[in-house]
Amino acid sequence: MKRTLISSIVAVLASTVLLGLVYPLAVTGIVQVIPTREVVLAEATHVGDARYFQPRPSQTDYSADATAFSNRGPNSSSAKYFYLEQIAAYRAMNDGAEPPMDAVTTSASGVDPDISHENAVIQARRIARVRSLPEAEVLALVGDDGHVNTTKLNEALDR
Amino acid sequence: MAWVQLIVFCAVLLAIVPLLGGYIARVFTYEARRPQTWKQYAVSLITFSVLSWLFLYLVLRARMPWDLSFNTTSSFVTNTNWQYYAGETTLTGFIQMVGLAVQNFVSAAVGLVVAIVLIRGIAGRPLGNFFEDLTRAVVRILLPISFVGALILASQGVVQSLDLPVASQEIIKVLGTNGGGFFNVNSAMPFENPNGLTNVLEMLAMLAIPASLTFTYGRMVGSARQGWTIFGVMFAIFLAGVVVVYLAELQATPAQQAAGLTGANLEGKELRFGTGGSALWTVVTTATSTGAVNAAFESLTGIGGLVPMVNLAFGESIFGGVGTGLYTMLLYVLLAVFIGGLMVGRTPEFLGKKLEGREIKLIVLALLVTPLAVLVTTSIAISTDYGQASIYAAGPQGFSESLYAYMSQANNNGSAFAGYTGVTFADLLGGLTMLIGRFAPIVLTLAVAGALATKRVAPAGLGTMRTDTPTFAGLITATVVIVGALTFLPALLLGPVVQGLTTQLF
């Protein structure tokens, strides 16, 4: 019994040092010197500004520091009213265009930068109109992919 | 497109199983320096877990009140990773690193060695030594894979710094079928799971060890077919779940339809994963007892949310957790042998060993203690004001939240209908449920291993029921489905099934 207790104490302490300190610090060290891809989140900066692409609705005002799900259930009547509000706002901003599903549902992370191609095309027409740009020029930014990153699109618009 | 992805995903998984499974068999085929009986093994395992619990509790008390610490400590020591807290706001990166991530490793290792002991028992070998097995599980399996995996994830953009040590924790979160997110929204957060490639890698990591252990089992009992038979059962039920969730999530929810929307339900989903990547993840994370999420489960359609609950109802035996999945499935296999023996009127035999009263009692007890814990705790939670305080949604969804919470905690999964909130009562009842759902089956499984290890092997005769045939695979499947369905069907009808059938809003 005494041997078991001592072995257990040693195991807890050794695993804390090895797995809780040595391992993560070694990974952190190596990550400093290997190439890593940059991750772009949705930004709140241009939300509500018709001159920019709008990301999907966020439960947390696009906060990366305190994330949360909306937890809107499939049979929730308050969810229905939320969608109706979102639909009305989208139509008002986009010349009465019907919103695709992604444009009126909250993402899981609240910082999903992507929107569907369909959504991006509708918004590209609006942006071209508001900025008095040729439609083809803004549509060229959108491309043909299934989904596009609003943060990167907005950076491209500012260039 | 999603179907092509699924086929490629399954092909990669099939390639991993014999490689990793064979490696795990080699790691655990050795002579222990201090062999233990099943009781000594159990005492060592419990002592280690109790000390781990005390240590983590003290660490977490730095940032959490006592009730939340109780729940969270129980959650991580039992490999559940149920989270009544938000990682990035409640805890610091340092506490997650030296507290939670350490348990992510060792709790997975504890599950793994219990499965190995049961395999040794079935194979009639000495049971081994807990501390020697634990060391091998961590140092030769979990740590090397995590180290390489963390670097791959980081290269893809998963964050890793002193303030946010995410990649090093993310990989063991999935590889160890733990599931506790560094961030509150778990693997939906781009910092944890930035793109389609990381999504696939993390799903493969969740399945890698539980799926490979079927091969390890076949190798260690000297018959590859025994292992593939079990893999086949798990794989078939798993695929059925994937198809159902995918088709369900391609539909709009009743609330969306009522607002005039059409198309796939994207509430609580990330576009970079889409319906396919979210549906597959949902089944992978609940078939394995991981519980990490890349979409909000509370926002799934009724039928989409039913599948995770069915996976929980099957006792996390469809691949299941690291080790826990295989030993639970092996208990189902032994039960199927017993039922098969009764049907043909012979003494049930498994790999030459007669199954007798003592083993069958232990097996049935091990398989029923978790469902019993679920039904009792859910009943308490929905029938008292203390329990109802946690409910967020109106209508049957509120019941689903409660049922899901206790199914998930008792089965050590950790995923949630996340509207369900932690109050003192939920912290304590849930913490207790996790401890029972973890350690009662472990001790009973070790006892089964002890009972089987010393039995004499009788040579197979003409009347021996084969346990490596498609017929027997069918019998295992029926046993899992019938036990799960008989236990949980009434409860599931009241929650997700009602929601899947009605368009009414609440």
Q: Which residues of B touch A99 (CB under 8 A)?
A: 261
Minimal CA–CA distance to B209: which of B310, B100, B119, B108? B108
Mean of pLDDT values over B250-278: 97
Asked whether the predicted pLDDT for residue B105 surpasses 90, the reply is yes
Residue type for B49, please?
A: S
Identify whether the C-beta of residue B277 lies closer than 8 Å to the C-beta of residue B299: no
Q: Which residues of A touch B268 (CB under 8 A)?
A: 69-72, 105-108
Residue with tokens 């089987």: B452
Mean pLDDT of chain B: 96
Residue with tokens 């772009």: A40
CB-based contact A75 B47, cutoff 8 Å = no
Q: For A46-101, what is each residue's pLDDT tens digit?
A: 999 999 999 999 999 999 999 999 999 999 999 999 999 999 999 999 999 999 99
What's the complex ipTM?
0.96
pLDDT in the model for residue B464: 80
CB-based contact B419 A31, cutoff 8 Å = no
Q: Does B301 touch chain A (CB under 8 A)?
A: yes
CB-based contact B298 A21, cutoff 8 Å = no
Asked whether the predicted pLDDT for residue B486 surpasses 90, the reply is no
Asked whether the predicted pLDDT for residue B115 surpasses 70, the reply is yes
Asked whether the predicted pLDDT for residue B396 surpasses 70, the reply is yes
Q: Which residues of B touch A116 (CB under 8 A)?
A: 271
Minimal CA–CA distance to B415: which of B185, B208, B215? B185
Please give the residue range of the domain that contains residue B51.
Answer: 2-501
CB-based contact B262 A39, cutoff 8 Å = no
Q: For B20-58, what is each residue's pLDDT tens digit?
A: 999 999 999 999 999 999 999 999 999 999 999 999 999
Residue B157 backbone class (left: φ over 0; alpha: ψ -120 to 50; beta: rest)? left
Identify whether the C-beta of residue B400 lies closer than 8 Å to the C-beta of residue B412: no
Strands B353-354 and B349-350: antiparallel
CB-based contact A41 B131, cutoff 8 Å = no
CB-based contact A80 B143, cutoff 8 Å = no
Mean of pLDDT values over B216-240: 97
CB neighbourhood size of B497 (10 A): 18
Mean pLDDT is lowest, of B131-145, B206-220, B339-353, for B339-353
Q: For B430-461, what is each residue's pLDDT tens digit?
A: 999 999 999 999 999 999 999 999 998 888 77
Q: Which residues of A touch B402 (CB under 8 A)?
A: none
For residue B506, tell me if it sits in a domain.
no
- The alpha-carbon gap from A38 to the nearest alpha carbon of chain B, in Å, equals 6
HSE-up (13 A, CA, CB side) for residue B269: 30
Q: Which residues of B touch A91 (CB under 8 A)?
A: none
- The alpha-carbon gap from B401 to the nearest alpha carbon of chain A, in Å, equals 10
Asked whether the predicted pLDDT for residue B154 surpasses 80, the reply is yes
CB-based contact B47 A30, cutoff 8 Å = no
CB-based contact B265 A34, cutoff 8 Å = no
How many cross-chain Cβ pairs, A to B, lie less than 8 Å apart?
Answer: 259
CA torsion, points B447, B452, B455, B459, in degrees to nearest 10?
Answer: 170
Dihedral sign, Cα of residue B269, residue B271, residue B273, residue B274:
positive
Nearest CB to A31: which of B88, B154, B254? Answer: B154
B459, two tokens: 């040579």
Q: What is the SS3 assignment for A9?
A: helix
CB-based contact B191 A64, cutoff 8 Å = yes
List the single best residue of A21, A32, A62, A71 to mutate versus B (max B Cβ within 10 A): A71
Nearest CB to B268: which of A1, A80, A106? Answer: A106
Q: For B408-429, what is each residue's pLDDT tens digit?
A: 999 999 999 999 999 999 999 9
H or E element, residue B49: helix B38-60
Going by pLDDT thresholds of 50, 70 and 90, the confidence category of residue B379 is very high
Q: Does B99 touch chain A (CB under 8 A)?
A: yes
For residue B383, tell me if it sits in a domain.
yes
**Surface-to-core class of residue B203, CB atoms within 10 Å of its CB (0-12 exposed, 13-18 middle, 19+ buried):** buried
CB-based contact A27 B295, cutoff 8 Å = no
pLDDT in the model for residue B1: 64
Minimal CA–CA distance to A45: which of A72, A69, A64? A64
Q: Does B462 touch chain A (CB under 8 A)?
A: no
- The alpha-carbon gap from B241 to the nearest alpha carbon of chain A, in Å, equals 19
Percent of chain B predicted with pLDDT > 70: 100
Percent of chain B predicted with pLDDT > 90: 94
Mean pLDDT of chain A: 96
Going by pLDDT thresholds of 50, 70 and 90, the confidence category of residue B2 is confident
CB-based contact A69 B185, cutoff 8 Å = yes
Size of chain B, expressed as the number of residues it contains: 506
pLDDT in the model for residue B144: 98
CB-based contact A7 B89, cutoff 8 Å = no
CB-based contact B255 A71, cutoff 8 Å = no
Q: What is the SS3 assignment for B465?
A: coil
CB neighbourhood size of B466 (10 A): 12
Residue B300 to residue B419: CA distance in whole angstroms: 13
Nearest CB to B301: which of A37, A74, A111? Answer: A74
Identify whether the C-beta of residue B334 lies closer than 8 Å to the C-beta of residue B359: yes
H or E element, residue B307: helix B302-313
CB-based contact B392 A71, cutoff 8 Å = yes
Residue B239 to residue B284: CA distance in whole angstroms: 10
HSE-up (13 A, CA, CB side) for residue B380: 14
CB-based contact A67 B504, cutoff 8 Å = no
Nearest CB to B154: which of A11, A36, A69? Answer: A36
H helices of B314-423, in order, are: 324-344, 357-383, 385-388, 396-410
Q: What is the largest distance, in Å, between two alpha-carbon atoms of chain A?
A: 81
Q: Which residues of A touch B88 (CB under 8 A)?
A: 65-67
Asked whether the predicted pLDDT for residue B172 surpasses 90, the reply is yes
Q: For A96-121, what is each residue's pLDDT tens digit?
A: 999 999 999 999 999 999 999 999 99
pLDDT in the model for residue B150: 98
Nearest CB to A79: which of B88, B194, B255? Answer: B255
Domain ranges of chain A: 1-36, 39-159
Considering its fold, how many domains does chain B have in total? 1
pLDDT in the model for residue B50: 98
Minimal CA–CA distance to B384: which of B415, B438, B428, B436? B428
CB-based contact A111 B189, cutoff 8 Å = yes
Q: Does B185 touch chain A (CB under 8 A)?
A: yes
DSSP B468: S
pLDDT in the model for residue A145: 86
Q: Does B416 touch chain A (CB under 8 A)?
A: no
Q: Does B254 touch chain A (CB under 8 A)?
A: yes
